[in-house]
Amino acid sequence: MERRTIFPGWGLPVLLVMPQLALTAVFFLWPAGQAIWSSMTRADPFGIRTTFVGLENFADLFSDPLYLDSAGRTVVFCAAVSAISLLLALALATAADREIRGRALYRFMLIWPYAVAPAISAVLWILLLHPQIGLVGHWLNRIGIVWDYKLNGTQAMLMVILASAWKQISYNFIFLLAGLQSIPKSIVEAARLDGAKGFFRFRTIILPLLMPTVFFLVIVNLVYAAFETFPTVLALTQGGPGKATETLVVKVYRDGVINLDVGSSSAQSVVLMAAVIVLTAVQFRFLGKRGGE
Amino acid sequence: MSGRADWPAHTVLALGVLLFLVPVWLLLAGSTLDPAAISRGELSMVPDLRNLGVYGTVLTEGAPGVGPVWRMMLVSAGMALAIAFGKIAISILSAYAVTFFRFPLRMVAFWIIFITLMLPVEVRIIPTYSVMSDLHLINTFPGLTIPLIASATATLLFRQTFLAIPDELVEAARMDGAGPWRFLKDILIPVSAANLAALFVILFVYGWNQYLWPLLVATDPSLDTIVIGIVKMIGTETQTEWNKVMAAAVLALLPPILVVVLMQRWFVKGLTEGDK
């Protein structure tokens, strides 16, 4: 889409885009280019000389069982976080879409958690599930269920999934409720008169109309789970015990910032960039379609 | 509509509300308890109002490993405001330029901006760090904020809004002799007021809640944000004074929640209409 009415001259507009272009070039394009370059180099053990090694870092990466484990773990983690937060948000949005008393208050009470920082959601879940100080965690151990996410990898994974999914419910709720409200009441009413009831009506009439929103949210949730949960994981488990909760972003951070393995860390960054590009492309293809409706 | 109360819906919603309220209540109550009791596993939902002094203590003195909380809140507020206003300013200008003007390489400029959507900080940790260090921006306030100001989302949102403005309005403004600056100031910005408000909320929360970026570029304790401070306070959990962690977390929650609550209507509208 283009605008027909425009101002003449091009000195002013160039000046206007300059600030953003300059920041983008310096803080996005240059580092991204460097990541691609250093993903194809390797430093000697003393860090004095770097040599060009082509795609060797990538070959190493994809034959490294630790990396593949981390990738598999990230997939499970992202799928679980997205599924849990979307399903809970869908149940809440469906209920909040009804004409019930106090719904403005309910909505308000479900929207404010959008403001909670991922790192602080970690603190909240420590208070609930920490084996010694956590309200529920301490109680579990007292009644004889061994609960310690600091030692048990499965429990650690469960813990980071819960804390990450919890934080994302509000965001999904806002979008799903808006999606539900945009479904014409006449359609729902017609289905009701035809005798379509409860869950059947939801599955056959409402859900298909809500699918564009759901699909958009799936992508957003996957990206959230893959990248923005870094503080949650770091505050809860630091990626441990062992490597039980080491997602790909935690691994990039650990290999690059802590172990200073620039070649491998850059190769991992490039792989992640490729993943984001694919997800963004899918999302925009779909958004373009919806915009055209 | 019907006279009967809709019990299933009420039940689901009430459980949802509790899912968020219980942890936060626990945080509030826990902040007023005795740290030794918390470490023994005696966390409870009943606050001890005699210990509200902990808020004064963390605000002015801080906790082991971190400085006073008021200072960290100030850094967070500075960061959140600088990112929100900075991003809105450069995005409005660039969206204005690519929508209402024609200039060489216009679409190239647009695509360069667009591509940043695909490069979140998390995927370019190391190279961005080295750029920051080449520019001597490590451990500086500009280093904390400026790199987060460039982003495509706000630009795309404004472009969308500008494209939807009727041609008649633009034409009328030109007939009245409005130059490019007056058109921006008197027409475009007022028309986009709702978007501006929504973006402000989204960006303020985004800036306030940053963790990875300050962790990378600001190792100087005087630049600790409150979120960084809280994770530092938890530390290795050996000598954590949990009541102070909780008090700091309560304080850290207040500003972003307040912003969301006060601007709830615009925020929801802007978020869902702008798609992200």
What is the ipTM for the molecules in this complex? Answer: 0.86
A and B: number of Cβ contacts within 8 A: 293
Which pLDDT does position A86 carry in this prediction? 96
Which pLDDT does position B171 carry in this prediction? 81
Interface of B with A in 52-81 (CB under 8 A): none
Beta strands A41-43 and A50-52 are: antiparallel
Residue A4 confidence (pLDDT) above 60 = no
Query: What's the CA angle centered on A74, arms A146 and A72, to 5 degrees?
Result: 95
Average pLDDT over residues A107-121: 91
Q: Domain extents for chain B?
A: 71-274
Closest-CA residue of A relative to B26 is A127
Q: Which of B19, B127, B205 sits opposite A266 (nearest CB)?
A: B127
Residue A291 confidence (pLDDT) above 50 = no
Please indicate whether, in this complex, the C-beta atoms of A127 and B212 are within 8 angstroms of each other: no
Fold exhibited by the domain B71-274 = MetI-like fold (1.10.3720)
Contact of B133 with chain A, judged by CB distance below 8 Å, is answered with: no
Residue B141 confidence (pLDDT) above 50 = yes
Q: Amino acid identity, residue B5?
A: A
Chain A residue numbers with beta carbons less than 8 Å from the beta carbon of B180 are: 7, 12
Which pLDDT does position A45 carry in this prediction? 67
Residue A289 confidence (pLDDT) above 60 = no
Closest-CA residue of A relative to B87 is A20
With bands split at pLDDT 50, 70 and 90, how would you rate the model's confidence at A103? confident
Please indicate whether, in this complex, the C-beta atoms of A116 and B97 are within 8 angstroms of each other: no
Q: How many CA atoms lie within 13 A of B25 on its CB side?
A: 10
Round the average pLDDT of chain B to a whole number and report it. Answer: 85
Work out the number of other CB atoms within 10 angstroms of the CB of residue A99.
Answer: 9
With bands split at pLDDT 50, 70 and 90, how would you rate the model's confidence at A290? very low
Which pLDDT does position B1 carry in this prediction? 46
Residue A168 confidence (pLDDT) above 90 = yes
Please indicate whether, in this complex, the C-beta atoms of B119 and A113 are within 8 angstroms of each other: no
Contact of B19 with chain A, judged by CB distance below 8 Å, is answered with: yes
Contact of B207 with chain A, judged by CB distance below 8 Å, is answered with: no
Cα B65 vs. chain centroid, distance in angstroms? 25
With bands split at pLDDT 50, 70 and 90, how would you rate the model's confidence at B120? confident
**Contact criterion met (CB below 8 Å) for A42 and A50:** yes
Q: How many domains does chain A have?
A: 1
Q: Amino acid identity, residue B149?
A: I
Chain A residue numbers with beta carbons less than 8 Å from the beta carbon of B12 are: 91-92, 94-95
Q: Mind listing the pLDDT tens digit for each residue in A172-214?
A: 999 999 888 888 888 888 887 887 777 788 888 888 888 888 8
Chain A residue numbers with beta carbons less than 8 Å from the beta carbon of B128 are: 27, 31
Please indicate whether, in this complex, the C-beta atoms of B94 and A26 are within 8 angstroms of each other: no
Contact of B8 with chain A, judged by CB distance below 8 Å, is answered with: yes
Residue B274 confidence (pLDDT) above 70 = no
More confident: A240 or A62: A62
Please indicate whether, in this complex, the C-beta atoms of A24 and B211 are within 8 angstroms of each other: no
Which pLDDT does position A293 carry in this prediction? 31
Q: Amino acid identity, residue A110?
A: L
Q: Mind listing the pLDDT tens digit for each residue in B190-240?
A: 888 888 888 899 899 999 999 988 988 888 888 899 999 998 888 767 778
CA–CA distances in Å: residue B164 to residues A93, A159, B153, B183, B269: 29, 45, 17, 15, 16
With bands split at pLDDT 50, 70 and 90, how would you rate the model's confidence at B70? very high
In a domain, A184, yes or no: yes
Average pLDDT over residues B151-158: 83
Q: For A35-49, A59-73, A84-98, which range has the lowest pLDDT when averaged over its residues?
A: A35-49
Contact of B5 with chain A, judged by CB distance below 8 Å, is answered with: yes
Which pLDDT does position A287 carry in this prediction? 62
Pick the closest to residue B160 from B94, B99, B90 (CA basis). B99
Q: Which of A10, A14, A26, A28 to mutate to test the interface with B (most CBs of B within 10 A)?
A: A28
Average pLDDT over residues A226-241: 88
Please indicate whether, in this complex, the C-beta atoms of A277 and B118 are within 8 angstroms of each other: yes
How many whole angstroms separate alpha carbon B241 and alpha carbon A45? 41
Burial of A239 (0-12, 13-18, 19+ CB in 10 A): buried
Which pLDDT does position A3 carry in this prediction? 61
Which pLDDT does position A5 carry in this prediction? 58
Minimum distance, in Å, between the CA of residue A262 and any CA atom of chain B: 7
CA–CA distances in Å: residue B262 to residues A90, B18, B73, B83, B267: 25, 22, 19, 19, 9
Please indicate whether, in this complex, the C-beta atoms of B234 and A126 are within 8 angstroms of each other: yes
Residue A145 confidence (pLDDT) above 60 = yes
Query: What's the CA angle centered on B268, arms B201 and A288, to 5 degrees?
Result: 100
With bands split at pLDDT 50, 70 and 90, how would you rate the model's confidence at B34? confident
Which pLDDT does position A100 carry in this prediction? 85
Q: Mind listing the pLDDT tens digit for each residue in A213-228?
A: 888 889 889 988 988 8
Minimum distance, in Å, between the CA of residue B77 and any CA atom of chain A: 14
Average pLDDT over residues A231-253: 88
Average pLDDT over residues B117-142: 82
**Contact criterion met (CB below 8 Å) for B174 and A3:** no
Which pLDDT does position A2 carry in this prediction? 60
CA–CA distances in Å: residue A55 to residues A62, A67, A132, A233: 11, 16, 47, 30
Minimum distance, in Å, between the CA of residue A285 and any CA atom of chain B: 14
Residue B80 confidence (pLDDT) above 60 = yes
The CATH number that applies at residue A107 is 1.10.3720.10
More confident: B174 or A22: A22
Which pLDDT does position B101 carry in this prediction? 84
In a domain, A159, yes or no: yes
Closest-CA residue of B relative to A282 is B118
Of the ranges A89-98, A178-187, B44-53, which is most confident?
A: A89-98
Please indicate whether, in this complex, the C-beta atoms of B119 and A273 are within 8 angstroms of each other: yes
Identify the sign of the CA torsion A15, A21, A22, A23.
positive
Average pLDDT over residues B50-67: 83
Average pLDDT over residues B89-114: 86
Please indicate whether, in this complex, the C-beta atoms of A252 and B123 are within 8 angstroms of each other: yes
DSSP 8-class letter at B62: -
Tokens of A77: 């983690």
Residue A154 confidence (pLDDT) above 80 = yes
Chain B residue numbers with beta carbons less than 8 Å from the beta carbon of A174 are: 268, 271-272
Please indicate whether, in this complex, the C-beta atoms of B120 and A227 are within 8 angstroms of each other: yes
Which pLDDT does position B19 carry in this prediction? 93
Please indicate whether, in this complex, the C-beta atoms of A10 and B103 are within 8 angstroms of each other: yes
Residue A64 confidence (pLDDT) above 80 = yes
